[in-house]
């Protein structure tokens, strides 16, 4: 398990998207260094940390797509139907 703490959303003008991108990048780097073949992510920062679902999904899925070839499986573990819908919408847009 790699513990990742995402940033708290405070309007988006304090670099929050870039911070969240760095969280995903760091986790993928650590996973590769430790030979991880399957990786799963919650919707980092999209719950109690108030990141807008569309922004969080875009950042997460871009990172997942960028690194998917290095893993056997990359899984998004989502906590409700709203987030699932947002991830599905974002995935269709990105592919």
* Domain chopping of the chain, boundaries: 21-94
Give the DSSP letter string of 19-54: HHHHHHHHHHHHHHHTT--EEEEE-TTSSTT---HH
User: 21-94 architecture in CATH?
Assistant: 3-Layer(aba) Sandwich (3.40)
Q: Is 91 left (phi over 0), alpha (psi -120 to 50) or beta?
A: alpha
Residue-level pLDDT at 83: 95
Residue 81: strand, helix, or coil: helix
Which tokens hold the place of 89? 């919408």
pLDDT above 90 coverage of the chain, percent: 97
Q: Residue 95 — very low, low, confident or very high, per pLDDT cuts 50/70/90? A: confident
What is the pTM for the complete model shown?
A: 0.94
Which tokens hold the place of 69? 């070839």
């Amino acid at each position: 398990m790699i513990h990742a703490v995402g940033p708290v959303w405070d309007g988006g003008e304090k670099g929050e998207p870039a911070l969240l991108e760095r969280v995903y990048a760091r986790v993928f780097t650590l996973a590769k260094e430790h030979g991880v073949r399957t990786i799963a992510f919650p919707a980092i920062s999209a719950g109690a940390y108030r990141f807008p679902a569309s922004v969080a999904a875009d950042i997460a899925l871009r990172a997942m797509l960028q690194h998917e070839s290095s893993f056997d499986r990359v899984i998004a573990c989502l906590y409700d139907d709203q987030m699932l819908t947002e991830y599905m919408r974002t995935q269709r847009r990105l592919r």
